Amino acid sequence: MKKDEMPTFLPDADPESVSSDVAGFGGFLVSTQIPTREDGSVELGDLRAQARCTLQSLRRSLERAGSSMSDVLHLTVYLTDMSERPLFNEVYREHFTKPYPVRCAIGVSCLAIDGMRVEVTALAAKNV
């Protein structure tokens, strides 16, 4: 792999994190976000509050890496209760417009933090 083709990693703001905030390769970025507020605390309210916080965190991370929500190509959504998918979709439409990214939603039994109900992984194009 050529040096200019090497992946890049933006560190997570949390010094205890075991994951980069954004990884880049060529013109693509990958980011996984949980409902983290700007101050680093985790939102553990209802699904709408967590979804808003998660997608706002995604927006901040992508913008820091030279991208935006309109550059998201694919989004994987992890929900601990698939019956809340319509609620997530309401918030999703606040952050994305047509044409919507390719997306999949996966029901999981739990996430990394007790009480966390949503997590997302996004693939986005990097603005050059």
Is residue 105 a part of any domain in this protein? Answer: yes
pLDDT at 1: 46
- For residue 70, the enclosing domain spans 19-125
pLDDT at 21: 61
pLDDT at 55: 98
- CA 128 – CA 111 distance, rounded (Å): 34
Taking CA atoms, 128 is separated from 10, 63, 70, 105, 118, in Å, by: 17, 12, 14, 30, 30
pLDDT per 10-residue tile (average), the chain, 128 residues: 62 66 75 93 97 97 92 96 98 95 97 97 87
Q: What is the value of pTM for the model shown?
A: 0.86
The two three-digit tokens of residue 24, written as one number: 């880049």
- Asked if 8 and 23 count as a contact pair (C-beta separation under 8 A), the reply is yes
Q: What are phi and psi of 99, to 5 degrees?
A: -75, 130
CATH number at residue 117: 3.30.1330.40
Is residue 2 a part of any domain in this protein? Answer: no
What's the total number of domains in the chain?
A: 1
Is residue 6 a part of any domain in this protein? Answer: no
Is residue 5 a part of any domain in this protein? Answer: no
Is residue 1 a part of any domain in this protein? Answer: no
